Amino acid sequence: MALTGVEIFKLLPKTNCKKCGHPTCLAFAMKLAQRQASLDACPDVSEEAKKILGEASAPPIRPITIGVGDKAVKMGEETVLFRHEKKFVNPCVFAVEINDSMSDEEINKMVDDVLSSEIDRVGQKLRIDAIFVNNVSNDAGRFESVVMAIASKAPAVPLIIATNNPDAAMVAVKAVADKKPLLYGANESNVEAMANIAKTYKTSLGVTAKGLDALSILTEKIKGLGVDDIVVDHGARSAKEILEANTYIRRAAIKKNFKALGYPVINFAQRDDRVLESLVATLGVTKYASIVVLGSIEKWKNLALFTLRQNIYTDPQVPMQVEQKIYKIGEPTPESPLTITTNFSLTYFIVSGEIENSKVPCRLAVMDCEGLSVLTAWAAGKFTASKIAQFIQESGIENEIKHRELIIPGYVAILSGAIEDKLPGWKVIVGPREANGIPAFLRSKVSQ
Ligand code: SF4
């Protein structure tokens, strides 16, 4: 059972020393009870209290990692039902299904598509994260060879070994145990054998059952067999049932602290109709899936799903912003143009990307506006003529460039006169309103 703030307070040192960043031990206890603080923040807590509180303050959804190295993916550890209450922690994993009855050529093509799926968006690398290798052939030898071939072609990509045949599971997991795969396929009839394989090779175990009662009985059984890292499949496949079951599991784990369902959830979105598949996947991304299995890779689908996931898993309390400074794009000379924008990450990456596209070396002055976009910052009084002038003067740019021309975003053309008043000797040039107009604008400017 979760402890109340007062129960937690009784176990803390009660010195109000503030080392945890909170004004009193009681304030810290209240944050712990709401799962908005970590016990590690108090350096003076006793070992006995740690033992009691460690269990009580553990995240209601168990953290689980599959894979090793830079591309390993962490799931679970969520603490809230709604993103705005705090944040969603570990982005859901996109896995694509490759089944072992496909031809070697088809398998190679799918693996190539996974490897080339990575895109860079707002400074983050986004990709298809894992491969769900499905033992459709029910042939243990074929399954093992396909798993090994995929692991050797894509050694860094986390694997989900999917079979309900313990013999096939044994050979396949043994072949790639060092990559810490997820073994998926435990059910009522094979649970002892599958748990034994997961325990032997120290992998996490995916379990499936029809209905949440049966599922929670199975997870308790698996835990009793010595496997703690579990991923649950509630068996729902229609969009409506997936939404209901995912929500029920998240509510049971977060609101009731029901440990038997406090595990990451895997959803299956594969559909022949790719648009429908995308829609089912978006349901999983927005409502509590930790793994969404897809049937294919298409660039348009990746873009839509990656963007959605990035938005859902961005911390709503922390604006996405970049550092205030003058960025050099290309190899600008003292004569190269100087442009200015705000430090909202999306604005920065779009503007800098379009400057790169122009092939015109340039300096981009990025001004701290608390992560707001140009128009919002202007409306909020953070991107004003005085503040821009102060930033330019204090940046030291006047020692780096020979000209005195500043290109401002077209949306704040209204500021041009006021900036020239505040920056004597400078000429303000109004750039395009939309970033996609930047390449043509810069090219025409340097050819003048
Ligand atoms: Fe209390 Fe520990 Fe925070 Fe100090 S660091 S105020 S002892 S909870």
Protein residue closest via CA to atom 1 of ligand 1:
25
pLDDT band at 321 (very low <50, low <70, confident <90, very high): confident
Q: Is 362 assigned to a binding site?
A: no
- Asked: is 5-57 a CATH 1.10.10.10 domain? The reply is no
Each residue of 90-144: pLDDT tens digit?
A: 999 999 999 999 999 999 999 999 999 999 887 789 999 999 999 999 999 999 9
Centre of ligand 1 to C-alpha 12, Å, is 7
Instruction: Provide the pLDDT for residue 267.
Output: 98
- Asked: is 325-447 a CATH 3.40.50.720 domain? The reply is no
Centre of ligand 1 to C-alpha 44, Å, is 7
Centre of ligand 1 to C-alpha 34, Å, is 17
Pocket of ligand 1 (CB under 6 A): 12-13, 15-20, 22, 25, 28, 42, 44
pLDDT band at 162 (very low <50, low <70, confident <90, very high): very high
pLDDT band at 85 (very low <50, low <70, confident <90, very high): confident
Which segment of 47-61, 85-99, 222-236, 255-269 scores lowest on mean pLDDT?
47-61
User: Bigger pLDDT: 316 or 326?
Assistant: 326
Nearest-atom number in ligand 1 for the CA of 16 is 6
- Hey, what CATH class is 64-312 in? alpha beta
31: pLDDT strictly greater than 90: no
292: pLDDT strictly greater than 60: yes
Mean local confidence (pLDDT), 266-290: 97
pLDDT band at 174 (very low <50, low <70, confident <90, very high): very high
Q: Is 435 assigned to a binding site?
A: yes
297: pLDDT strictly greater than 80: yes
**Three-state secondary structure along the chain?**
CCCCHHHHHHHCCCCCCCCCCCCCHHHHHHHHHCCCCCHHHCCCCCHHHHHHHHHHCCCCCCCEEECCHHHCEEECCCCCCCHHHCCCCCCCEEEEEEECCCCHHHHHHHHHHHHCCCEEECCEEECCCEEEEECCCCCHHHHHHHHHHHHHHCCCCCEEEECCCHHHHHHHHHHHHHHCCEEEEECCCCHHHHHHHHHHHCCEEEEECCCHHHHHHHHHHHHHCCCCCEEEECCCCCHHHHHHHHHHHHHHHHHCCCHHHCCCEEEECCCCCHHHHHHHHHHHHHCCCCEEEECCCCHHHHHHHHHHHHHHCCCCCCCCECCCEEEEECCCCCCCCEEEEECEHHHHHHHHHHHHHHCCCEEEEEECCCCCCHHHHHHCCCCCHHHHHHHHHHHCHHHCCCCCEEEECHHHHHHHHHHHHHCCCCEEEECCCCHHHHHHHHHHHHCC
Range(s) within the chain of domains with CATH label 1.10.15.40: 5-57
Range(s) within the chain of domains with CATH label 3.40.50.11600: 325-447
Nearest-atom number in ligand 1 for the CA of 29 is 8
Instruction: Provide the pLDDT for residue 316.
Output: 81
Each residue of 222-233: pLDDT tens digit?
A: 999 999 999 999
Q: Is 347 assigned to a binding site?
A: yes
Nearest-atom number in ligand 1 for the CA of 23 is 6
57: pLDDT strictly greater than 80: no
C-alpha 51/C-alpha 73 separation (Å) is 28
Protein residue closest via CA to atom 8 of ligand 1:
25
For residues 130 and 93, the answer to whether their CB atoms sit within 8 Å is: yes
Q: What are phi and psi of 62, to 5 degrees?
A: -60, 130
Instruction: Provide the pLDDT for residue 1.
Output: 53
Each residue of 276-286: pLDDT tens digit?
A: 999 999 999 99
> Could you tell me the strand order of the sheet in which 159-162 lies?
230-233, 204-208, 182-186, 159-162, 130-134, 93-99, 291-294, 266-268
Instruction: Provide the pLDDT for residue 2.
Output: 67
Q: Is 341 assigned to a binding site?
A: yes
Range(s) within the chain of domains with CATH label 3.20.20.20: 64-312
Instruction: Provide the pLDDT for residue 431.
Output: 95
- pTM of this structure: 0.78
| Crossing angle of helices 191-201 and 212-224, rounded to 10° | 50
Q: What average pLDDT does the structure give for the chain?
A: 93
- Who's near 97: CB < 8 A, 6+ residues apart? 132, 134, 270, 293, 294, 295
Please choose from 8, 17, 57 the residue to mutate so as to test ligand 1's pocket, defined by most ligand atoms within 8 A of CB.
Answer: 17
